[in-house]
Structure 1
Amino acid sequence: MAQSYEARLMRVLNYVYANLDGDLSLDTLADVAALSRFHFHRVFTGMTGETVAAFTRRVRLFRASAALLQTRDPVDRIACYCGYVNVRSFMRAFQSAYGVTPDAIRNRGVPQPALQLNEHGDYEMYDVKIETREDIHLAVMPHRGAYMEIGEVFEAVMTILMTRGLGPQLGQMIGVYLDDPAAVPESDLRSFAGAQILGDPEITAPLETMEITGGRFAVLTYKGHYSGLAKAYAYLFGEWLPESGEVPRDSPPFEVYLNRPQDTLVDDLITLIYAPLK
């Protein structure tokens, strides 16, 4: 089953090599891989051991190092067709990667080693099951910034819901996470903290309504402090998903919290990570 994912990543690799001066955005590469934009980066990083940005940077700099030896093109022209619009940025990136300037590589005349995808190493194992759920109706508030700081937003959501007398109509506590922390700066991470709403009560500001479309989901059970969730995501998208042959839907992952740090020891916290499947 992992072969289909290997083929997807090889398409990305070949596309990057052929389009170094083109659009290498995550959305474009997700389309090349035929994977959801919400999940592509997690799959790529989980399977290769490096981020898309690190991979494209390596390819660009390797292509530049080869061009320095194989052509007499000026450095600024090489920088341009390797995807760098600013020669100063190229010079800084090149020297950071190789420890010497482009001119030194050209004068030395020694080819650099061929590029290979990194190995991700061994994963910790987690229990993953496939589950079918109906649509989930949520009352949420948005959060921008580090995911580990979303707790304050959950507190606000729960306080508002309880003061409005909606306690009897609350279901599971749910967090929806739109971005991969390995691909987006921490300050720009987008997420929503909320609670499942049973019935049809009126939801007004500052709360918003959100609906998670039902269907099939891969559900990973994680136990422990929230700081360890990154490893669980890496296993789910880098190991379990490719081996299963399942394909993620174009919908973000979300977390269901079965207990709360306010009344639970951190080692006993249980989080379910849901990855929507086709």
Structure 2
Amino acid sequence: MRSRSTPSVSLLEYQRRIDQAIRFILARIDQPISLDEVAEAACFSKFHFHRLFTALMNEPPGEYIMRKRLERAAIRLVYADTPVSTLAGDYGYSSVAAFSKAFRQWFGGPPTAIKAIRGRLESEKGKLQTRYGKTLVADELFGAAAGAGNPARRESIRRRVILRRLKEFELHYLPSARGYEVGGIWETWATLREQACAVAPEADCDWFALSHDHPGLTPPDRCRYDACVALPKKARAALPLPRLAVPGGDVAVYQVAGPEASILPQYLDFYTHWMPHSGFEPADYPLIEHYLPGCRPGHIRVQLWVKVQPMRMAPGRVS
């Protein structure tokens, strides 16, 4: 007779494999992606992968890939002013017209409109709103002080940003079952700390998170958050959680602190005031958060590690 725990163990294994599929997709989001390759990365039969992905993620894998490409394109458009022609090519569209049509169908307005939001995006309803009830709002994209024309504020933030070269390193991770919901995040951290500190002294643990989605662009129930820990080498095999390798590369480091509700506006300050004037654009990688000593419910101390790459220019700016 099967144990009562067998279904939950199976579900956890399915979720782990779907997570492998998602990481495979995001690592290649600017390349052609075959669903057969994604199924293989997740160790699923290609005949069952589509059904299982749809059941666990509540959206088909093809739509997930399209959504993530459009969200990444919007981030580069909003914060780096990347030419639309560059975005169209980078995310696999045959022309600017095809990219602009897909962008309008999803967000409810053309690429040029997202930079001109004042309040809410005034346009026809796209799939983001009709299917998920998510409306684009200026304060969620640019922060309350959207004034990118504030030189003093921009200079203050510029002085706080440090560029560094990151070497590849390994993390154990535990996904938040409730995405970015604050209570769910703290529950996830409590579980991770308990498990990590059972195999290594807390002083030897280094705490991180991966925030996979922009809350201003992604429906709340689609936002993904992983609490992570870097362990000393001798303790890594003892922690029964999945691992991931954070690739090396250039990162912009920006430190913030305060109550949970103050963290997103500080993140948006960095993206709004520093990124468009830096000569860099955000790379296709989740936001890395490095948690510092003294974090507790009600007060966060964290360094943003934003993977960046030199701004890619295209001949002419087509919109």
The structure 2 residue matched to 1:140, chosen from 173, 176, 180, is: 173
Q: Distance in 2 between matches of 1:231 and 1:177?
A: 15
Aligned to 1:237: 271
Query: 2:280·2:308 contact (CA, 8 Å) conserved in 1?
Result: yes
Aligned to 1:153: 188
Aligned to 1:273: 304
Quote how far apart the aligned CAs of 1:121 are.
2.6
Change in Cα spacing, 1:208 to 1:237, as seen in structure 2 (3 Å) is same
Q: Distance in 1 between matches of 2:307 and 2:237?
A: 27
Gaps of 5+ in 1: 34-43, 62-82, 90-118
The structure 2 residue matched to 1:23, chosen from 98, 102, 125, is: 102
Query: 1:148·1:227 contact (CA, 8 Å) conserved in 2?
Result: no
The structure 2 residue matched to 1:227, chosen from 261, 278, 289, is: 261
Q: Distance in 1 between matches of 2:266 and 2:105?
A: 22
The structure 2 residue matched to 1:246, chosen from 280, 283, 297, is: 280
Aligned to 2:83: 8
Gaps of 5+ in 2: 1-76, 88-92, 131-144, 310-319
Corresponding residue SS for 2:162: strand
Corresponding residue SS for 2:303: strand
Paired residues for 1:150-229 under 5 Å:
150-163=185-198, 165-167=199-201, 170-199=204-233, 201-205=236-240, 207-229=241-263
Aligned to 2:313: none
Aligned to 2:139: none
Corresponding residue SS for 1:247: strand
Q: Distance in 2 between matches of 1:247 and 1:211?
A: 22
Change in Cα spacing, 1:162 to 1:130, as seen in structure 2 (3 Å) is same
Corresponding residue SS for 2:290: strand
Query: 1:139·1:203 contact (CA, 8 Å) conserved in 2?
Result: no
Aligned length, in residue pairs: 198
Change in Cα spacing, 1:257 to 1:120, as seen in structure 2 (3 Å) is same
Q: Distance in 1 between matches of 2:294 and 2:100?
A: 48
Query: 1:203·1:209 contact (CA, 8 Å) conserved in 2?
Result: no
TM-score computed with the length of structure 2 as normaliser: 0.51
CA deviation map 1:25-64 (0-9, x unaligned): 7999xxx99xxxxxxxxxx97x65569xx54xx3448xxx
Q: Distance in 1 between matches of 2:82 and 2:251?
A: 23
Aligned to 1:261: 295
Query: 1:170·1:195 contact (CA, 8 Å) conserved in 2?
Result: no
Percent identity over paired residues: 17
Residue identity matched to 2:217 = A
TM-score computed with the length of structure 1 as normaliser: 0.57
Quote how far apart the aligned CAs of 1:258 are.
0.8
Corresponding residue SS for 2:147: coil
Q: Distance in 2 between matches of 1:147 and 1:133?
A: 29
Which of the two has higher C-alpha Rg? 1
Q: Distance in 2 between matches of 1:254 and 1:161?
A: 19
Query: 2:161·2:254 contact (CA, 8 Å) conserved in 1?
Result: yes
Quote how far apart the aligned CAs of 1:265 are.
8.0
Residue identity matched to 2:186 = G
Query: 1:137·1:198 contact (CA, 8 Å) conserved in 2?
Result: no
Quote how far apart the aligned CAs of 1:183 are.
1.4
Corresponding residue SS for 2:280: coil
Query: 2:80·2:281 contact (CA, 8 Å) conserved in 1?
Result: no
Residue identity matched to 1:256 = H
Corresponding residue SS for 2:170: strand
Q: Distance in 2 between matches of 1:169 and 1:49?
A: 46
Aligned to 1:100: none
Could you say which structure has the greater relative contact order, defined with CA pairs below 8 angstroms and 6 or more residues apart? 1
